[in-house]
């Protein structure tokens, strides 16, 4: 029993269980499907023979990668660097930039690292659905040769359906994610434990000496092997990225209680199988199951990979929304697919671009083994960026001493750089694809930011100070005033917006109340409603209003104005008109932008959603005023 406003221990326990189960479905789908292909690729990519010493060496490398990268780095250290409870590369970048001087070289460097990490994340978002679903469907070849020529068509049908249903949201099927992934990890553990019981000598791989000996004895092949071992920790970044949705404790409970044991048992079970039957390297995961259980295992694996892909797609939507709010990308259409969960969003442009990339990958690479060569670079690159930003946060905001932060940086960066360097060897074989995607995204982001800065300078040059207009009105200038409230949206909290000057020039009137509104997105996830408004009154019915939002908040301007009345500034929704400017950009050779960047920036501006849509302003209350600007 619990009274209103009082949370009982039973209620706390039930909530923790629900959050832990939810974390299983969303956070661990990616890393949970890695056993489908990791051990096979370790031998396929490195060319090592499947024998006693190499099997133990590879297993030892996988074990210590999971322990050092995921358990120690992410679960223990990185998850402590939260931005008001939020995680992820952009949240960490905003945290690292806090208090730094705009335009300073260090500021630019930190921002560049964060944007590079975010850009690499999009490459991961394209590869994960492709390799996960393809590797699961390939299990049909183990169950029966009948489906040998149907693997690619079935994979493409599943992936296309997955992206098509995104518009309807995942609220209903999302409730099944946690139980299915929980069953998946239980099955992983059981299959592995059965094999370990038959070959217990495989547990010798827990000793780090086997990992070190393998790297030492095989030299160059050992370094190549690291590029495949990293497949075991892909998805580790999700622990940090999804921290805001579930919190540290549920994610850690799920990791230690089910995910890590299930993964280790399965990897060691595959190793035990290879010790007994080296020929099983063809597909050691599906050979773990008896013949009668292989087809059900394919179905369960397919469901798990679809869930892992869904989590990555949702992550791409959330990342893009954060990037838009932080002004790293132009405004895009954002649809809310749930009336109750703000995180349930759908971005059509991102969805179809991801689908196009995934289809191209599947048709181009054809097998999960070929795709594995492309996997890893994006993940390890993001890991390097996370380590560098976490060091900055630890030193600046965490109050870590130089030797503490430096020791952690040296340890984690050594591992990350080793994995990243090993994956660079696979650039020709397929690693070029995520690098190409990341380079394209990075270029778009930097072009957009630089172009917006040039445009802002142009608008400020053509603008007029508010005091000049007030002085003109006070000096006897005749400007007709009409009833109602006019809200002029402007990106600058200084001067008069172009939309007001154009309205005054063409319509020759001003409303009795004129609000110059600027929406500022802060470097924190959320802003409480009590701190939403910053109002400065001016003579002649003018007001300067700054609305503050966090980078995961929904900037719904009319809803915020209706929800909380501002003293001294009455808002009647039916008596308020919003004015926004729509710029038509004309390329010139007189700006600091290179010609190709001008073309890209203008194209991005044309695709950008209008401010009225972005701020959720009803179309019937908006007046858009067009203007041409040379840039």
Dist. CA 173–CA 151, nearest whole Å: 25
Secondary structure letter of residue 82 according to DSSP: -
Contacts 24+ apart (CB under 8 A), 64-69: 64/208, 64/211, 65/229, 65/230, 65/232, 65/233, 66/232, 66/233, 66/260, 66/263, 66/264, 68/415, 69/233, 69/236, 69/383, 69/415, 69/416
Highest mean pLDDT among 18-22, 234-238, 259-263, 591-595: 259-263
Compute how many other C-beta atoms are within 10 angstroms of the C-beta atom of residue 287: 21
Give the Å distances, CA to CA, from 516 to 184, 279, 295, 388: 55, 72, 64, 40
Phi, psi of 594 (to 5 degrees): -60, 160
Give the Å distances, CA to CA, from 337 to 22, 86, 160, 341, 397: 18, 22, 19, 8, 36
Mean of pLDDT values over 301-327? 87
Dist. CA 581–CA 448, nearest whole Å: 18
Dist. CA 490–CA 609, nearest whole Å: 16
Pairing of strands 542-549, 533-538: antiparallel
Predicted local distance difference test score (pLDDT) of residue 421: 92
* Least confident stretch, 19-23, 464-468, 585-589, 606-610: 585-589
Q: Which helix (H) or strand (E) holds 546?
A: strand 542-549
Of all residues in the chain, what percent carry a pLDDT higher than 70? Answer: 94
Dist. CA 327–CA 223, nearest whole Å: 40
Predicted local distance difference test score (pLDDT) of residue 6: 47
Dist. CA 215–CA 43, nearest whole Å: 14
Could you tell me the residue ranges of all domains in the chain?
16-450, 465-630
* Architecture of the domain defined by 16-450: Up-down Bundle (1.20)
* Least confident stretch, 67-81, 144-158, 558-572: 558-572
The torsion of the CA quartet 74, 37, 30, 444, rounded to 10 degrees, works out to 90
pTM: 0.85
Predicted local distance difference test score (pLDDT) of residue 172: 57
């Amino acid at each position: 029993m619990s009274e209103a406003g009082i949370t009982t221990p039973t209620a706390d326990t039930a909530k923790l269980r629900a959050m832990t189960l939810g974390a299983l479905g969303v956070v661990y789908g990616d890393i949970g499907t890695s056993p489908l292909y990791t051990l096979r690729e370790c031998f396929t990519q490195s060319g090592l023979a499947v024998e006693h010493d190499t099997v133990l060496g590879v297993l030892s490398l996988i074990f210590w990668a999971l322990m050092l990268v995921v358990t120690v780095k992410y679960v223990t250290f990185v998850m402590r660097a939260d931005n008001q409870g939020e995680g992820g590369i952009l949240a960490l970048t905003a945290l690292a930039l806090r208090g730094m001087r705009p335009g300073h070289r260090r500021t630019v460097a930190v921002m560049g690292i964060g944007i590079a990490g975010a850009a690499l994340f999009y490459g991961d978002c394209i590869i994960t659905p492709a390799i996960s679903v393809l590797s699961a469907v390939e299990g049909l070849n183990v169950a029966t040769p009948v489906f040998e020529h149907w693997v690619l068509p079935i994979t493409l049908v599943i992936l296309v359906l997955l992206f098509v249903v995104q518009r309807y949201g995942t609220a209903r099927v999302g409730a099944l994610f946690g139980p299915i992934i929980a069953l998946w990890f239980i099955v992983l553990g059981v299959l592995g434990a059965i094999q370990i019981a038959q070959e217990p000598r495989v547990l010798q791989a827990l000793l780090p000496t086997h990992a070190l000996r393998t790297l030492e004895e095989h030299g160059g092949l050992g370094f190549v092997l690291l590029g495949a071992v990293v497949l075991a920790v892909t998805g580790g970044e999700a622990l940090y990225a999804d921290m805001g949705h579930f919190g540290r404790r549920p994610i850690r409970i799920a990791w230690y209680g089910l995910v890590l044991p299930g993964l280790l048992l399965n990897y060691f079970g595959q190793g035990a199988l290879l010790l007994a039957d080296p020929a099983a390297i063809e597909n050691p995961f599906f050979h773990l199951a008896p013949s009668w259980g292989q087809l059900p295992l394919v179905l369960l694996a397919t469901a798990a990979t679809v869930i892992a892909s869904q989590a990555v797609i949702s992550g791409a939507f959330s990342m893009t929304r954060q990037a838009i709010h932080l002004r790293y990308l132009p405004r895009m259409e954002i649809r809310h697919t749930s009336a109750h969960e703000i995180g349930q969003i759908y971005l059509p442009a991102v969805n179809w671009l991801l689908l196009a990339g995934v289809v191209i990958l599947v048709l181009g690479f054809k097998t999960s083994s070929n795709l594995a060569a492309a996997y890893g670079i994006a993940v390890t690159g993001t890991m390097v960026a996370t380590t560098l930003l976490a060091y900055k946060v630890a030193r600046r905001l965490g109050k870590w001493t130089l030797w503490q932060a430096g020791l952690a940086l040296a340890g984690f960066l050594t591992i990350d750089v080793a994995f990243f360097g090993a994956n660079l060897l696979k650039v020709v074989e397929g690693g070029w694809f995520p690098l190409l995607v990341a380079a394209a995204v990075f270029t778009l982001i930097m072009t957009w930011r630089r172009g917006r800065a040039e445009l802002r300078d142009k608008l400020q040059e053509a603008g007029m100070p508010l005091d000049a207009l007030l002085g003109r009105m006070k000096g006897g200038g005749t400007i007709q005033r009409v009833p109602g409230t006019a809200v002029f949206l402007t990106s600058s909290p200084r001067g008069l917006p172009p939309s007001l000057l154009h309205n005054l020039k063409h319509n020759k009137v001003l409303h009795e109340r004129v609000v110059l509104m600027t929406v500022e997105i802060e470097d924190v996830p959320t802003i409480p409603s009590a701190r939403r408004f910053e109002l400065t009154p001016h003579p002649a019915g003018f007001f300067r209003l700054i609305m503050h939002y966090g980078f995961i908040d929904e900037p719904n301007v009319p809803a915020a104005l209706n929800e909380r009345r501002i003293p001294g500034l009455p808002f009647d929704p039916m008596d308020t008109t919003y004015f926004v400017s729509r710029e038509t950009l004309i390329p010139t050779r007189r700006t600091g932008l290179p010609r190709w960047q001008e073309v890209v920036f203008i194209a991005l501006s044309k695709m950008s959603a209008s401010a009225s849509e972005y701020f959720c302003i009803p179309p019937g209350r908006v007046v858009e005023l067009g203007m041409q600007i040379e840039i």
